Amino acid sequence: MASYDYRIRYGECDQQGIVFNAHYMAYIDDAVDQWLRGMDVDFETTFGWEVTVKRSEIVWEGPARFGETLTLDLAVSRWGTTSFDVAATGHVDGRGVIESTTTYVVVSHDAFSPVPIPDELRAHLVG
C-alpha cells in the first residue's frame, strides 16, 4: 500500500472551480509511477520491463478544489499472470473525492509484449 499527496493547482480546475475530471487519471498514473520508482528509479532499464495502462475506471464522489491537498491511497487489488489492478481512493481531509481501479500490464521494455509479473515487482507492491 502507498499514499501520495497532491496540492491542487489553479490550472487544474475548470470553470466550476473544481479539478477537471481528466486530471484524476494523471494524478493516479503519477502516483503509481512514484510507487514503482521507489523500487528502482530506472526500473525499465534495470529490469528490462515496464508497465502500461490497459484500462481505468474512475467513480467521482465529490469535488477537490484549488489549494486543497488530495491524498491518493493505492493498493494492488488483483494479481493476474501479466497484469494487476491498482485500487486508488482519493480524499481531501477525509472527504471522499474519487474511487478508481486501473489495470496495468507488465511488458518487455524492448518488444513491448506482455511478460509474467516479475517477482521483484510483486514483492515491492505488496510491501
Length of the chain in terms of residues written: 127
How far is the C-alpha of 10 from the C-alpha of 125, rounded, in Å?
32
66-117, pLDDT tens digit by residue?
999 999 999 999 999 999 999 999 999 999 999 999 999 999 989 999 999 9
CATH number at residue 81: 3.10.129.10
Does the structure show a pLDDT above 90 at 28?
Answer: yes
Q: Which domain holds residue 106?
A: 2-126
Does the structure show a pLDDT above 90 at 56?
Answer: yes
Q: How many domains does the chain have?
A: 1
How far is the C-alpha of 97 from the C-alpha of 122, rounded, in Å?
28
Does the structure show a pLDDT above 90 at 17?
Answer: yes
pTM above 0.85, yes or no: yes
How far is the C-alpha of 79 from the C-alpha of 103, rounded, in Å?
10
